[in-house]
A and B are shown apart, each in its own frame.
Chain A
Amino acid sequence: MKRLGPTLRRMAIVAMVIALAGSMFGFRTLYKHVSAFEIEEHYNPVWIVNQIEFEVLRFDDALRAFRLGEVTADDVRLRFDILWSRTGVVSSGRVKDVILSYPSIVSAVKTLKEELKIEDPVLQSLRDGDIATAERLGVRFARIRDEIHRLTLEVLDLKTRSDAAARDHFEMFTFWTRLLALGTTASLIAFVIFAWNSAERARRHADEQERLLIRARAASDAKSQFTSVVNHELRTPLTSIKGGLGLILGGACGALPEKAERVARIAYENCERLGLIINDLLDLEKLEAGEMKFDFQRTSAPRILASVMQSNDEFANLHGITLRLDKVAEDAEIYADSSRMEQVLTNIVSNAIKFSARGKEVRLGVSQCRGQVEFTVADDGCGIPEGAVDSVFDMFTQVDSTSKRAKGGTGLGLGIARSITEKHGGAITLESRLGEGTTFRVTLPAYSSEPAHDLALAETAGATPA
């Protein structure tokens, strides 16, 4: 019973409620019966009839004593009154309710009352020494005494039978009460099991979460360690290799044979590429961790563009590409980290150079329109297939996976560029025609004198405005 369905649980709860309600009803009924039984025991019909018979006998005895001159007429009248009161007791209150189920008692009491009423005037006029009247009364009450005695026996028999019936009744109730108690206990056990089960599941869930948390922390630690390794253990020796190769190529070790120089240059270029890849990886890690810092400044957009042109000039020459400045809005200003924006644009420009055929040109421009500053980088390169336009910004993606090897790069560049642009509150879009060329547009909000705008931007990027 590892996991019980909610339906089953609901059914168990309903069963428990029914069993409990049943038990309560059963106990209540039982209590009522016990009370009724107690009352009947208390005002036992046998006892009631015995009391009447007892008083009849005592009255009879008083008449006998009167005849013998032992008691007075007043003594006889007192006995008569006490007997009379007996008939009154059985005709009122709870005793009356009890004897209602014994018609023979009701009828006998009625007869006795009538007899007493008839003889009442005789008793009231009884004088001391009136033996004849006493004898007549004696005969009459001897008959009543016999009838009451017969009634006693009859009631005793009835009572015995009703006791047996009551016992059967009690046995039945006991059976049902036991059954309900058993049902309640079973439901209770089921409920405890459910509760235990659910607590156990909650505990397991908490354990699992804790385990995942520990793993997540470990992963985060590992990543930090990786960053540190990349930063210090890879980049530092790479810088030294690149420096050494640069010196060799610069002729610090004397003129190199042509073959050696070619090999050294290839090695140098590869060092440079490796450096760029490492930078990309570190940027990516920083962006993901939200740790990339931005130094926001009020900056001239054309100046950023000029700087990008300058830094890519040599690379363009190498690929036989001409960089041309198109329309330039001279007074366009943005609020940005200029070195990061240069990184974004350089990435796009270098891509344009890489994917253009020798002899073609890459056109750069900056314009301002409705509070937006837009950088454009257009080439006449191979273009991007329509279906792949959306995926160029994904990390580790290059449209043609073979081009990754031919053109170099990690495939991280555009993803990083987009993230940096978004941190500036901007966006990168592109238009491309396969075989005709591609135009990238980097749109940023124009610099505003309203401080609220800049502050919000700085908060988005996680840096303090300068």
Chain B
Amino acid sequence: MKIRHLFAALALFILPVAGHAQAILTVSGNAADGATVSIDYTADDLRALPRQTILTNNNFVDEASSFTGPSMRDLLGDIVIERDSEVLLTALNDYSVVMPGAHILDYNVIAAHDINGVAMTVRDKGPLWVIYPMDDHEELQQPRYNNYLVWQLRSIEVK
């Protein structure tokens, strides 16, 4: 049954309970040799990656906040990204948006897991929120860039 499959998939993204390290993010795409690559990250995996902190404002917070998490470039690992690549970002509630590969190459875009030093839960746009360094680049302050700030990020697919 369709609904059953959906929930089976959703179950993968529930915050890991002690002893049950479950993947919360899946990153997929092609490596330089053309092989398909798919990486599953648990919350611990993500926290083990180099951290970036961005202090910025956006349309969904009341004031400039400090966001911490791995950069998108680091998340991609061996997956090749070009300027004209299409990066499909999908959220837990099935919201999805296609981000141009150039954004990842030009800006330090991160998948934040902490806001102001506190881990984000599903109730608070967590566990992962795509953040652009908007305050550092004037051009990123155009309203349309807010469309790429996907919260409750579930998967990244590079096409």
Contacts and interface: CB of A to CB of B under 8 A. Distances in A.
A194 interface: no
Interface in A335-366: none
Contacts of A75: 7, 10-11
B122 to A, nearest CB: 4
Contacts of B123: 81, 84-85, 88
Given A78-B14, A81-B121, A84-B123, A70 B1 contact: yes
A301 B81 CA distance: 113
A95 interface: yes
Interface string B129-159: 0000000000000010011000110000000
Given A38-B143, A65-B3, A43 B59 contact: yes
Given A74-B14, A81-B123, A88-B123, A39 B143 contact: yes
B11 to A, nearest CB: 6
Contact of B93 (A55, A62, A77, A95): A55
Given A72-B11, A74-B14, A81 B62 contact: no
B45 interface: no
A61 interface: yes
Interface string B52-77: 00000011111000000000000000
A93 interface: yes
A93 B4 contact: no
Contacts of A65: 3-4, 7
A89 interface: yes
A453 interface: no
A71 interface: yes
Contact of A61 (B3, B11, B122, B147): B3
Contacts of B44: none
Interface in A60-106: 61-62, 65, 70-72, 74-75, 77-78, 81-82, 84-85, 88-89, 92-96
Contacts, number: 70
B34 to A, nearest CB: 36
Contact of A42 (B1, B13, B143): B143
A93 B60 contact: yes
Query: At the interface, is chain B mostly helix, strand, loop or mixed?
Result: loop
B143 A95 contact: no
Contacts of B89: none
A88 B125 contact: yes
Binding site secondary structure of chain A: helix
B14 A95 contact: no
B14 A92 contact: no
Contacts of A42: 143, 146-147
Contacts of A94: 59-60
B82 interface: no
A62 B61 CA distance: 30
A89 B11 contact: no
A262 B124 CA distance: 141
A438 B3 CA distance: 139
A85 B4 CA distance: 23
B124 A85 contact: yes
Contacts of A77: 14
A75 B3 CA distance: 11
Interface of B: 1, 3-4, 7, 10-11, 13-14, 58-62, 92-93, 121-125, 143, 146-147, 151-152
Given A65-B3, A70-B3, A93-B58, 6 more contacts: A39-B143, A65-B4, A77-B14, A78-B13, A78-B122, A89-B151
Q: Which 6 A-B pairs have the closest CB atoms?
A: A81-B122, A93-B60, A94-B59, A71-B7, A84-B123, A75-B7
Interface of A: 35, 38-39, 42-43, 55, 58, 61-62, 65, 70-72, 74-75, 77-78, 81-82, 84-85, 88-89, 92-96
24 contacts: A42-B147, A43-B59, A55-B93, A61-B3, A65-B3, A70-B1, A70-B7, A72-B11, A74-B14, A75-B10, A75-B11, A78-B10, A78-B122, A81-B122, A81-B123, A82-B92, A82-B152, A84-B122, A89-B60, A92-B62, A93-B58, A93-B60, A93-B61, A94-B60
